Chain A
Amino acid sequence: MEKTVNQKAWFLVLPVLVLVAFSAIIPLMTVVNYSVQDSFGQNNFFWAGLVWFEDLLHSPRMWNALGRQVVFSSIILAIEVPLGIFIALNMPKKGLWATVCLVLMSLPLLIPWNVVGTIWQVFARVDIGLLGYTLDSLGVDYNYTQGFYAAWTTLIVMDVWHWTSLVALLAYAGLQSIPDAYYQAARIDQASRWKIFRYIELPKMSGVLTIAILLRFMDSFKIYTEPFVVTGGGPGNATTFLSIDLVKMALGQFDLGNAAAFSIIYFLVILAVSWVFYTVMTNLDKKDGV
């Protein structure tokens, strides 16, 4: 049957477009305008061309922050995605315990970022924090305000604690949507546990996992509040991720032009990586016929 083409439905998108224009497009345009000018305060701007971009591309400061950011996002994705899938596979499928698990898993997601930062900042302190004090008593050389590895470990464990539930809940939703018939067929074929996971569960979860990976990548790549509260970017610059560096530049030094150019490069990197993730995963889906 021929489908009716009715483009009028697009008008229904208009309110969203207006909202997005105010919350994202207009601010982004302003950032582009700032990035090619210099400002000495009082809203006086002077044309600077592409100088800020050139400065940034030759500055080790931005490349180092970008490097730290990539390493951080890669580590947390490598931990949270498999761990989330593992938890989802082991959660009860129905009954009271399923509900209890779901509530417990959702708890970390409900806590605001700065509170998570504060919890871990206290928790990891050597003098009064349970974690820091215990590690110190066991003779582990742990001090996240001074040690590079301690600071990184604290931030990674904190992020895993905060966000693995998101991956687990999404994977769990994917698993719940698999009809029993698939498992019955697998049992008849005497498929091993690994084969059931590889050929039934994983393909059926791939849609929600795409969303989980995208969300976790974008969020971790933009992370600001938690490391700002826990380590403040230190020790030295050890945990100065892109957004921390950007805020230092924009609000600490008030270098609007420089910070605007930084924001645009930052935005382009996120856009490019997200697009690659999305494209690769949606195309894998199509190939698998899922």
Chain B
Amino acid sequence: MAWMAWTVPTALFFVFITALLAIFTVLAVKYPETPRIGMLRIETTRGDRLFITLLGSAFINLAWLGLTNVTQWGAVVICLIYAFAVFRWV
């Protein structure tokens, strides 16, 4: 594993992503859902909304890093608000 050059923060990051995927898989099996159409006018399932959240969060973090000099935790707060909005309205 040494060749992968692991660090604690990146390991935690991947544990977090894996845990999210696991939780959503369990949810999908236990509580099957029907896709719904939200404000983007596209059909989404919980999994789709997770994907939109994660992808959007990556860009929010990049934008924050490129446009501001403020601590990166600010971007994390915006991502949480964004995640809430996606799961509620998309």
Given that A33-B6, A43-B2, A45-B5 are contacting pairs, would A271 and B55 also be in contact in the complex, using a CB cutoff of 8 Å?
Answer: yes
Q: How many residues of B contact A (CB 8 A)?
A: 23
| B85 contacts chain A at the CB level, 8 A cutoff | no
Please tell me if the beta carbons of B42 and A54 are within 8 angstroms of each other in the complex. Answer: no
Q: Is the interface of B mostly helix, strand, loop or mixed?
A: helix
Choose among A33, A36, A39 the residue that contacts B4 (Cβ–Cβ < 8 A): A33
Which residues B1-38 have CB closer than 8 A to chain A? 2-7, 9-10, 13-14, 29, 32
Please tell me if the beta carbons of B65 and A286 are within 8 angstroms of each other in the complex. Answer: no
| A265 contacts chain B at the CB level, 8 A cutoff | yes
Please tell me if the beta carbons of A33 and B7 are within 8 angstroms of each other in the complex. Answer: yes
Please tell me if the beta carbons of A37 and B55 are within 8 angstroms of each other in the complex. Answer: no
Q: Is the interface of A mostly helix, strand, loop or mixed?
A: helix
Please name the 9 residue pairs, one residue from A and one from B, whose CB atoms are nearest each other, closest first.
A57-B66, A33-B5, A30-B4, A45-B5, A33-B10, A283-B42, A268-B58, A279-B42, A54-B65
Alpha-carbon distance A30/B3, docked complex (angstroms): 8
**Chain B window 44-84, contacts with chain A (Cβ cutoff 8 Å), 1 for yes, 0 for no:** 00000001000100110010011000001000000000000
| A156 contacts chain B at the CB level, 8 A cutoff | no
Please tell me if the beta carbons of B4 and A54 are within 8 angstroms of each other in the complex. Answer: no
Nearest B-chain residue to A256, judged by Cβ = B5
Choose among B6, B10, B29 the residue that contacts A7 (Cβ–Cβ < 8 A): B29
Nearest A-chain residue to B37, judged by Cβ = A283
Alpha-carbon distance A30/B29, docked complex (angstroms): 31
Nearest B-chain residue to A50, judged by Cβ = B65
Min Cβ gap B37→A in Å is 9
Please tell me if the beta carbons of B62 and A275 are within 8 angstroms of each other in the complex. Answer: no
Please tell me if the beta carbons of A272 and B7 are within 8 angstroms of each other in the complex. Answer: no
Please tell me if the beta carbons of B55 and A275 are within 8 angstroms of each other in the complex. Answer: yes
Interface size class of A (residues with CB under 8 A): 20 to 34
Seed contacts A32-B13, A33-B6; 10 additional CB < 8 Å A-B pairs: A26-B4, A30-B3, A30-B4, A30-B5, A32-B10, A36-B7, A36-B10, A54-B66, A57-B65, A272-B55
Please tell me if the beta carbons of B2 and A268 are within 8 angstroms of each other in the complex. Answer: no
Q: List 16 A-B contacts (CB under 8 A).
A: A29-B10, A29-B14, A32-B10, A32-B14, A33-B5, A34-B5, A47-B7, A50-B65, A50-B72, A57-B62, A268-B55, A268-B58, A272-B55, A283-B41, A283-B43, A286-B43
Give B contacts to A, CB under 8 Å.
Answer: 2-7, 9-10, 13-14, 29, 32, 41-43, 51, 55, 58-59, 62, 65-66, 72
Choose among A7, A26, A37 the residue that contacts B7 (Cβ–Cβ < 8 A): A37
| A241 contacts chain B at the CB level, 8 A cutoff | no
Nearest B-chain residue to A268, judged by Cβ = B58
Which residues A233-290 have CB closer than 8 A to chain B? 265, 268, 271-272, 275, 279, 283, 286
Contacts of B29 in A (CB 8 A): 7
Contacts of A5 in B (CB 8 A): 32
Contacts of A58 in B (CB 8 A): 66
Nearest A-chain residue to B14, judged by Cβ = A29
Nearest B-chain residue to A29, judged by Cβ = B14
Min Cβ gap B42→A in Å is 5
Given that A33-B10, A37-B7 are contacting pairs, would A53 and B42 also be in contact in the complex, using a CB cutoff of 8 Å?
Answer: no
Alpha-carbon distance A271/B6, docked complex (angstroms): 24
Nearest A-chain residue to B63, judged by Cβ = A57
Alpha-carbon distance A7/B28, docked complex (angstroms): 11
Please tell me if the beta carbons of B5 and A53 are within 8 angstroms of each other in the complex. Answer: no
Alpha-carbon distance A43/B41, docked complex (angstroms): 49
Min Cβ gap B5→A in Å is 5
